[in-house]
């Protein structure tokens, strides 16, 4: 395979155009011919009955009989004798061949095997009793100045050491080889390539490096399922979708004056995010019986994870249902206004350029409380506006938990990032009461790999889809990243021209109830890896959804296409996979 290097796509890649590589004009490719010119021989008795027979394969490499070759080119001629049945009285034989036109236009540059050339005649004699001669191989080089001529070989006879001579099936010359000005014959063959890259990182694949071709151009590229492929010079630049990690593939076509050839490129995009280890995001440690407002922060109690700017360095955790209402995640939650109006934070190692996602639950205590999420360099974090919001202020009353998410891109040079919560106001004005927090996450994006397949479960024979057939679709989502997904879902509309088969849906082999009598994932519904909570795919975990449809009376002319989309709060963008059945 050709080597590959990660690179930013060139102008063609940036614009999404797919253009052929242009090269300087070259002489036209000479036309190839057939490889073998077979010659039959046999022996008869006086009554005309055949006593034995055989054949000679007269083969050129490259294939030239009836084709063309350019002056200066070399080729080999191989004559192989095979006697199928020897007559009783025949133990040896000799075949003769007229090489006059070959020798007039080409020079012998090498020969091996049984046989000798005398003048313009080639004679090949069997070497032992009832033993065929070894193959005769002659290498020719076409002479300069011979364009416009032709050359061939002609069998002239077969003789034996007995009175009854052998006979040829015919002495017609081989189809002539035309000598023309043009390229030396070279096959056009594209060879499969492989490449690796990181998630979201373009990779330049030198696909021509291992191809066999003369003056090739890349005349086209196919469409990958999880990215883009564009032509850039003599290479193809593959750019994976931002959220994709896994194996993707596409085809490319090489064109020369001698023909075209297509090969496959397989690219593996690795999930190379460094995990961010937020500690105690749901405030489950230490456990409290009801409420505790004297928990030392991480400056003296590292296991708690959280620091506070409060003067007493104390945290306040509540038990679910213990006067402060239910928790949103787990069994405990925190109060931002513990004994002072303060900021709660963790300083975390981060990689510049990483796209981080954050989420949390917020609720008021005595009424409507307001807080902000602050992210940035330690000592200088800045307010963050949640996704879909117009202000950084998170305002919630004390009846329900509000859920907020956002994205933060780590700027250049920032290897430590502060993730903090700041109290803006609390109902009642008390500095010691307000702003409940729970279910806090601050993570690197997870990486998803999706695949869609279909097979005929029952119905008509064969692979073609017909009305009434039952098709079973399988949608597989794998978390190849370092962190679990947050609220992972699948959206998979029932394809046009089909009808959902009730109660046919499974998730990881377990039946999933229909939604309103229909396919539960036709809208959007949670998926999870085995033993995980809904919406959670553990690192390395896979969710497999299967369901069936019945083909309607009118199969769409272009086939039945089905596309499913996997998404999660902590992936950069949803991943879509499709399959087409016809």
Q: Is 371 part of a structural domain of the chain?
A: yes
Q: Mean pLDDT, to the nearest integer, of 399-410?
A: 94
What is the predicted pLDDT for the residue at 414? Answer: 97
Note whether residue 31 is domain-resident.
no
pLDDT band at 164 (very low <50, low <70, confident <90, very high): low
- CA–CA separation, 136 vs 38, rounded Å? 15
Q: Which of 153, 179, 205 is the last residue of a domain?
A: 179
212 and 114 in a common domain: no
- Are 548 and 485 found together in one domain? yes
Position 150 pLDDT exceeds 60: yes
Q: Total domain count for the chain? A: 4
Whether omega for the bond prior to residue 286 falls within 30 degrees of 0, making it cis, is: yes
- The CATH number assigned to the domain holding 543 equals 2.60.40.10
For range 22-38, the mean pLDDT: 68
Q: What pLDDT does residue 11 have?
A: 34
Instruction: Label residue 531 exposed, middle or buried (CB < 10 Å: 0-12, 13-18, 19+).
Output: exposed
% the chain with pLDDT above 90: 69
Predicted pLDDT of residue 162: 62
**What pLDDT does residue 5 have?**
40
Band of the pLDDT at 281, cuts 50, 70, 90? very high
Q: Cα 237 to chain center, whole Å?
A: 13
Mean pLDDT of 95-109: 97
Percentage of the chain beyond pLDDT 70 is: 93
**pLDDT reported for residue 10:** 35
Report pLDDT for 15. 33
290, pLDDT greater than 80: yes
Question: Residue 46: what pLDDT?
Answer: 77
Of the candidates 443, 462, 486, which is a domain's last residue? 443
Pick the most confident of 90-94, 125-129, 202-206: 202-206
Beta-bridged to residue 108, according to DSSP, are: 140
**Residues 457 and 439 occupy one common structural domain:** no
Compare 423 and 24 and report the one with higher pLDDT: 423
| pLDDT of 379 above 50 | yes
Cβ–Cβ under 8 Å, residues 403 and 389: no
151 with 209, same domain? no
- pLDDT of 102 > 90? The answer is yes
Instruction: Please write the tens of the pLDDT for every residue from 264-276.
Output: 999 999 887 777 8
Q: Would you say residue 48 lies in a domain?
A: yes
Is 18 part of a structural domain of the chain? no
Banded pLDDT at 239 (limits 50, 70, 90)? very high
Largest CA distance in the chain: 129
Q: Same structural domain for residues 129 and 172?
A: yes
438 occurs within a structural domain? yes
Segment among 26-30, 71-75, 312-316, 516-520 with least mean pLDDT: 26-30
Angle at 581 between CA 575 and CA 582, to 5 degrees: 150
Contact 90, 54 (CB under 8 A): no
Burial class (CB within 10 angstroms; exposed 0-12, middle 13-18, buried 19+) of 3: exposed
**pLDDT at residue 582, as a whole number:** 77
Q: For the chain, report the end-to-end CA distance as a whole number of angstroms.
A: 34
Label residue 183 by pLDDT band (50, 70, 90): low
Decide which of 23 and 135 is more confident.
135
Residues 279 and 296: their CA atoms lie apart, in Å, by: 15
Confidence bin at 20 (pLDDT 50/70/90): very low
The bridge status of strand 50-61 relative to strand 5-6 is unpaired
pLDDT at 29: 66
What local confidence, expressed as pLDDT, does residue 486 receive?
A: 84
Least confident of 46-55, 196-205, 484-493, 544-553: 46-55
pLDDT higher at 353 or 79:
79
Least confident of 47-51, 59-63, 89-93, 420-424: 47-51
Average pLDDT in the 137-164 region? Answer: 90
Are residue 303 and residue 399 in the same domain, yes or no?
A: yes
User: 576: which residues sit within 8 A by CB, 6+ positions away?
Assistant: 450, 563, 564, 565
Examine the domain organization and report whether 305 and 400 are in the same domain. Answer: yes
The mean predicted confidence, pLDDT, of the chain is 90
Domain that holds residue 148: 36-179
Shared-domain flag, residues 367 and 438: yes
Are residues 437 and 299 part of one domain?
yes
- pTM, whole model, 2 decimals? 0.56
Beta-strand ranges (E) seen in 271-326 are: 291-296, 307-308, 314-319
Q: Residues 46-57, buried b or exposed e (16+ Cβ, 10 A)?
A: eeeeebbbbbbe
Give counts: helices (H), strands (E), the chain.
2, 43
Cis, peptide link before residue 62, omega less than 30° from 0: yes
Ranges of beta strands (E only) in 210-351 are 217-221, 227-232, 235-240, 246-256, 259-270, 291-296, 307-308, 314-319, 332-335, 343-349
**Residues 429 and 454 placed together within one structural domain of the fold:** no
What pLDDT was estimated at residue 19?
Answer: 37
């Amino acid at each position: 395979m050709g080597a590959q290097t990660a690179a930013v796509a060139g102008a063609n890649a940036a614009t999404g155009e797919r253009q052929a590589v242009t090269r300087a004009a070259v002489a036209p490719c000479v036309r190839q011919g057939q490889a073998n010119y077979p010659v039959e021989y046999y022996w008869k008795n006086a009554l005309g009955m055949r006593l034995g027979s055989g054949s000679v394969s007269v083969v050129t490499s490259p294939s030239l009989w009836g084709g063309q070759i350019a002056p200066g080119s070399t080729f080999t001629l191989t004559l192989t004798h095979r006697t199928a049945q020897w007559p009783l009285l025949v133990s040896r034989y000799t075949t003769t061949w007229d090489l006059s036109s070959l020798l007039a236009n080409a020079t012998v540059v090498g020969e091996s095997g049984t046989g000798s050339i005398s003048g313009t005649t080639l004679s090949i004699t069997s070497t032992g009793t009832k033993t065929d001669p070894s193959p005769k191989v002659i290498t020719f080089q076409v002479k300069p100045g011979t364009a416009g001529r032709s050359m061939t070989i002609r069998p002239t006879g077969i003789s034996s050491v007995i009175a009854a001579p052998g006979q040829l099936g015919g002495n017609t010359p081989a189809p002539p080889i035309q000598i023309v000005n043009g390229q030396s014959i070279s096959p056009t063959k594209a060879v499969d390539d492989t490449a690796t890259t990181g998630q979201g990182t373009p990779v330049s694949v030198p696909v021509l490096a291992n191809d066999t071709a003369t003056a090739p151009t890349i005349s086209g590229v196919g469409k990958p399922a999880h990215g883009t492929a564009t032509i850039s010079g003599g290479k193809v630049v593959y750019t994976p979708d931002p959220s994709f990690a896994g194996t993707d593939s596409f085809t490319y076509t090489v064109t020369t004056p001698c023909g075209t050839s297509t090969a496959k490129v397989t690219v593996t995009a690795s999930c190379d995010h460094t995990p961010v280890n937020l500690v105690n995001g749901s405030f489950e440690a230490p456990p409290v019986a009801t409420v505790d407002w004297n928990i030392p922060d991480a400056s003296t109690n590292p296991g708690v994870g959280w620091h506070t700017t409060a003067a007493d360095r104390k945290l306040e955790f509540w038990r679910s249902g213990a006067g402060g209402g239910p928790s949103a995640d787990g069994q405990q939650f925190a109060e931002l206004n513990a004994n002072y109006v303060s900021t709660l934070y963790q300083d975390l190692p981060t990689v510049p350029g990483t796209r981080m996602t954050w989420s949390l639950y917020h609720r008021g205590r005595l009424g409507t409380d307001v807080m902000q999420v602050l992210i940035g360099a330690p000592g200088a974090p800045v307010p963050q506006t949640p996704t879909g919001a117009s202000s950084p202020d998170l305002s919630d009353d004390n009846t329900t938990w509000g859920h907020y998410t956002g994205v933060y891109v780590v700027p250049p040079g920032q290897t430590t990032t502060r993730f903090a919560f700041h109290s803006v106001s609390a109902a009642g004005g008390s500095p010691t009461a307000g702003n409940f927090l729970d279910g806090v996450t601050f993570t690197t994006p997870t990486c998803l790999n999706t695949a869609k397949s279909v097979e005929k479960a029952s119905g008509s024979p064969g692979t073609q889809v017909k009305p009434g057939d039952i098709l079973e679709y399988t949608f597989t989502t794998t978390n190849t990243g370092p962190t679990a997904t947050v609220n992972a879902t699948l959206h998979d509309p029932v394809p046009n021209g089909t009808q959902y088969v009730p109660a046919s849906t499974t998730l990881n082999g377990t039946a999933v109830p229909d939604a309103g009598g229909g396919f539960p994932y036709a809208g959007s519904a949670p998926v999870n890896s085995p033993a995980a909570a809904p919406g959670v795919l553990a690192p390395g975990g896979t969710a497999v959804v299967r369901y069936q449809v019945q083909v309607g009376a009118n199969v769409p002319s272009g086939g039945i296409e089905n596309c499913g989309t996997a998404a999660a709060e902590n992936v950069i963008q949803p991943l879509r996979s499709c399959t087409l059945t016809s």
